[in-house]
């Protein structure tokens, strides 16, 4: 009968165990020195060598001719252990033998002496499946077993084991096996079986195995069934995934926002019996590689791929912004979670592809693109910084208008009756004094003029502006407005830099504001800025304000004394 490769090539000695030196070296030293524990706990993800190491340890402690702690694999005890008929090595599947009665049978058997070897070894696989009653029944025996008994517990979910069990065992953590170690082991197995496997194919299998040697060898077994020469196409076909070329095509279409090409490629791969969930997972890993290639100068040690493919990843990463790559990763990760139990996974992947392409399209809504939002926030921060430093020149005294529609003018205050000082500027064509000499109340306290009506839809306009222009929204959110003469929308503000901010020729703030007003009101209103209250607002030094608070606090403390 044909024997699966992962069983045929199971390690028979600690030297053959791949990627777990922290475990094998410690066990070898214990065997050499004779300091063998009565209970071991092997924990780690699937396919990392827990059961294999348990069998090797059970074989080594009973070996008749050990060599530096390693089993000789030639004596009668070693051969019977490899054949699975050693009477002193008992393997128990806790998933199906998890009751109290099963543990009671073990408690009765441990008092029996070994039949041939030095130790009776109990290997309890999937130990976390034992019931609470079974754990309680095992505690005493696990703590003080007879001198000829060794317990080895193996589990993938160590957090489910009671603390009382953990404290009685010598724990070994098995790490995920690196792709390099998996790739080297696959080449050894392929050579031993008489197959030819390329380096790229071995690397691809190692990446798909996700740190599990058993999964990697099982996939190699499927590839061997397709022919004696194994390359990346063979692996992709056996695993039901998209090849590297398809992934690069997909990312290219996403970078150019070609939704039609992306959906066509997904449909083609689906017709060719490509597993959609595996495709989504591979696409996620592909964008992970793009992220690394985008951020790390020398990424060859972090990406499992051929040198040519790494160069292609760097070139493709240059077509993306980092924020766009991170956004695609979030979308793909969310899609993978949604695929668990979904009735139609193809629709979910198509939806994810459309979202990724929409975020890259130049005509997409800027609020949906993180990078555009970051640029707008940066622009707002620069404007606020300039306001705080006082480097921005004051807006002109006379009403100014943008040459192009919409027209936004700045409404300046009229001279107050109690102020009759002559204007000091000789070049001023009007006797109207500058805004600094006004003492009008703040805009929020200025009553509307005759014929003016409060604009009740200003909150809706601000919400519309927030979707179209985030920096402008933050500049306007503390303002109010009213309608003058039925055709002017006047914005009241205490910020004397608002006019310059909106009418800056290098931005589209004026057009966005006008479009928002038109969308809410359905009318084409002319916009004006009323900042006459800004002149009365004096800038306060925050340090002086803090100092005054501290002085007030100290005075209160002295009064209390």
The answer to whether the CB of 243 falls within 8 A of the CB of 250 is no
Regarding whether 500 and 458 lie in a shared domain, the answer is yes
- This prediction's pTM: 0.55
446 falls within a domain: yes
Distance CA 203, CA 369 (A): 35
Q: Tell me, yes or no, whether 143 and 287 share the same domain.
A: no
10 Å CB burial of residue 464 (0-12, 13-18, 19+) is: buried
User: What's the chain's average pLDDT?
Assistant: 80
Distances (CA, A) of 187 to 7, 239, 295, 525: 17, 18, 32, 75
Q: Are the beta carbons of 353 and 262 closer than 8 angstroms?
A: yes
When mean pLDDT is compared across 142-151, 249-258, 417-426, 536-545, the lowest value belongs to: 417-426
Q: Does 376 fall in a domain?
A: no
| Cβ pair 384, 297 in contact under 8 A | no
Domain's final residue, options 131, 154, 175: 175
Check whether residue 352 and residue 251 sit in a common domain: yes
Domain boundary among 175, 200, 226: 175
Q: Residue 204 pLDDT more than 90?
A: no
pLDDT tens, residue by residue, 27-53: 999 999 888 999 999 999 888 999 999
> Domain check: are 287 and 351 in the same one?
yes
124 DSSP 8-state letter: E
User: Phi-psi region for residue 59, left (φ > 0), alpha (ψ -120 to 50) or beta?
Assistant: alpha
Q: Is residue 374 part of a domain?
A: no
In a domain, 351, yes or no: yes
Residues 9 and 153 both lie in one domain: yes
How many domains are contained in the chain? 3
Residue 553, domain member (yes or no): no
* pLDDT-above-70 percentage for the chain: 77
What mean pLDDT comes out for the span 354-379? 60
CATH of residue 288's domain is 1.20.272.10
Q: Is 93 helix (H, G, I), strand (E, B) or coil?
A: strand
Query: Taking 60 as the threshold, does the pLDDT of residue 205 lie above it?
Result: yes
How much is the pLDDT for 241? 64
Burial of 180 (0-12, 13-18, 19+ CB in 10 A): middle
User: Residue 187: inside a domain, yes or no?
Assistant: no
Same domain, 266 and 408: no
Q: Is 474 exposed, middle or buried (0-12, 13-18, 19+ CB in 10 A)?
A: middle
Q: How far apart are CA 149 and CA 144, in angstroms?
A: 10
Question: β-strand 89-93 against 120-125: which pairing, if any?
Answer: parallel
Domain match, 461 and 509 both: yes
- Same domain for 247 and 171: no
Whether pLDDT at 136 is above 50: yes
Q: How does residue 509 score in pLDDT terms, banded at 50, 70 and 90?
A: confident
> Does residue 406 have a cis peptide bond before it, meaning omega lies within 30 degrees of 0?
yes
- With 0-12 / 13-18 / 19 or more C-beta atoms within 10 angstroms meaning exposed / middle / buried, residue 542 is exposed
Residues in a beta bridge with 528: 409, 490
Residue 395 confidence (pLDDT) above 50: no
pLDDT in tens, 111-127: 888 888 889 999 999 89
pLDDT score for 432: 44
Report residue 381: phi and psi, to 5°: -60, -40
- In this structure, are residues 18 and 176 in contact, taking their beta carbons and an 8 Å threshold? no
291-344 pLDDT tens trace: 999 999 888 778 877 677 888 899 999 999 999 999 999 999 999 999 988 889
CA-to-CA dists, residue 249 to 168, 272, 286, 336, angstroms? 55, 16, 11, 20
Cα dihedral 544/546/548/551 (nearest 10): -130
Judge whether residue 535 has pLDDT over 90. no
Domain-ending residue, one of 119, 146, 175? 175
266-281 confidence digits (pLDDT tens): 999 888 878 898 889 8
Q: 525: pLDDT confidence band, cut at 50, 70 and 90? A: confident
Q: State residue 242's pLDDT score.
A: 58
Mean pLDDT across the stretch 514-534? 81
Q: What is the pLDDT of residues 444-476, one digit of tens each?
A: 444 444 468 888 888 888 888 888 888 888 788
State the DSSP H helix or E strand holding residue 120, giving kind and residue range, or none if neither.
Answer: strand 120-125
Within 13 Å of residue 415, how many CA atoms lie on the same side as its CB? 12
Q: Are residues 319 and 450 in the same domain?
A: no
- Taking the C-alpha atoms of residue 38 and residue 22, their distance in angstroms, rounded to an integer, is 20
Q: Are residues 320 and 396 in the same domain?
A: no
Residue 404's nearest CA partner among 525, 503, 266, 549 is 503
Q: What is the pLDDT, as a whole number, of residue 507?
A: 80
CATH number at 147 reads: 3.40.50.300
Taking residues 349-377, what's their average pLDDT? 65
Look at 132-141, 221-230, 447-456 and tell me which has the smallest mean pLDDT. Answer: 447-456
- Rounded Cα–Cα distance for residues 241 and 239 (Å): 6
Residue 542, pLDDT score: 54
Residue 440 lies in domain: 389-415+435-536
Average the pLDDT over each of 329-333, 382-386, 511-515, 557-561 and give the range with the smallest value: 557-561
pLDDT of residue 334: 93
Tokens of 526: 């002319």
367: pLDDT strictly greater than 80:
no
Q: What is the DSSP string of 386-455?
A: HHHHT-SPPPPSS----SSSSPEEEEPPPPPTT--PPP--TT-SSSPPPGGG--PPPGGGPPPPTTEEE-
pLDDT at 61: 92
d(CA 88, CA 60): 12
Q: What is the dihedral of CA 378, 384, 387, 393, to 10 degrees?
A: 40
Give the model's pLDDT for residue 388.
59
pLDDT at 251 over 50: yes
What is the b/e burial string over 243-266, where b = at least 16 CB atoms within 10 angstroms of the residue's CB?
A: bbebbbebbebbbebbbebbbebb
Same domain flag for 402 and 521? yes
Q: Are residues 461 and 518 in the same domain?
A: yes
Residue 190 is assigned to a structural domain of this protein: no
Cα separation, 328 vs 324, in Å, equals 6
Residue 436 has pLDDT above 60, yes or no: no
Q: Residue 248 domain-assigned? A: yes
């Amino acid at each position: 009968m044909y024997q699966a490769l992962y069983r045929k090539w199971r390690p028979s000695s600690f030297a053959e165990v791949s990627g777990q030196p922290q475990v094998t070296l410690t066990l070898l030293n214990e065997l050499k020195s004779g300091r063998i524990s009565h209970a071991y706990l092997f924990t780690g993800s699937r396919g990392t060598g827990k059961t294999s190491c348990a069998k090797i340890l059970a074989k080594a402690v009973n070996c008749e001719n050990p060599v530096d702690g390693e089993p000789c694999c030639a004596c009668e005890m070693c051969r019977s252990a490899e054949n699975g008929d050693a009477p002193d090595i008992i393997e128990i599947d806790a998933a199906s033998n998890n009751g109290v009665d099963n543990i009671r049978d073990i408690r009765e058997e441990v008092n029996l002496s070994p039949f041939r070897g030095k130790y009776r070894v109990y290997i309890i696989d999937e130990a976390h499946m034992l019931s609470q009653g079974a754990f309680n029944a095992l505690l005493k025996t696990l703590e003080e077993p007879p001198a000829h008994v060794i317990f080895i517990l193996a589990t993938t979910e160590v957090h489910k084991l009671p603390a009382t069990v953990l404290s009685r065992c010598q724990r070994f953590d098995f790490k995920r096996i690196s792709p390099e170690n998996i790739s080297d082991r696959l080449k050894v197995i392929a050579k031993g079986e008489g197959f030819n496997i390329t380096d790229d194919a071995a690397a691809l299998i190692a990446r798909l195995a996700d740190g599990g040697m058993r999964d990697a060898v099982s996939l190699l077994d499927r590839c061997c069934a397709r022919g004696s020469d194994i390359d990346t196409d063979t692996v992709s076909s056996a695993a039901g995934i998209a090849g590297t070329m398809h992934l690069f095509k997909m990312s290219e279409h996403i970078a150019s926002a070609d939704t039609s090409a992306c959906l066509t490629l997904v449909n083609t791969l689906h017709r060719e019996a490509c597993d959609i969930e595996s495709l989504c997972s591979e696409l996620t890993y592909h964008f992970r590689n793009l992220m690394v290639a985008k951020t790390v100068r020398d990424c060859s040690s972090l990406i499992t791929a051929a040198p040519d493919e790494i160069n292609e990843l760097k070139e493709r990463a240059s077509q993306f912004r980092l924020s766009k790559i991170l956004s695609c990763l979030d979308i793909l990760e969310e899609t993978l979670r949604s695929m668990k139990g979904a009735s139609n996974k193809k629709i979910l992947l198509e939806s994810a592809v459309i979202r990724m392409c929409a975020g890259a399209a130049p005509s997409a809504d800027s609020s949906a693109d993180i990078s555009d939002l970051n640029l707008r926030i940066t622009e707002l921060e620069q404007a606020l910084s300039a306001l705080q430093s006082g480097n921005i020149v004051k807006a002109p005294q006379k009403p100014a208008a943008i040459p192009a529609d919409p027209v936004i003018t700045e409404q300046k205050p009229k001279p107050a009756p109690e102020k009759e000082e002559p204007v000091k500027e000789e070049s001023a064509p009007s006797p109207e004094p500058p805004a600094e000499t006004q003492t009008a109340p703040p805009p929020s306290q200025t009553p509307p003029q005759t014929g003016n009506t409060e604009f009740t839809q200003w909150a809706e306009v601000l919400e519309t502006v927030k979707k179209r222009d985030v920096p402008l929204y933050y500049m306007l959110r503390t303002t109010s407005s009213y309608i003058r003469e039925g055709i002017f929308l006047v914005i009241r503000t205490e910020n004397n830099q608002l006019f310059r901010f909106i009418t800056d020729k290098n931005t589209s703030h004026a057009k966005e504001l006008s479009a928002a007003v038109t969308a809410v009101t359905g009318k084409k209103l002319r916009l004006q800025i009323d900042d006459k209250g800004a002149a009365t607002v004096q800038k306060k030094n925050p340090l002086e304000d803090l100092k005054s608070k501290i002085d007030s606090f100290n005075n209160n403390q002295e009064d209390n004394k």
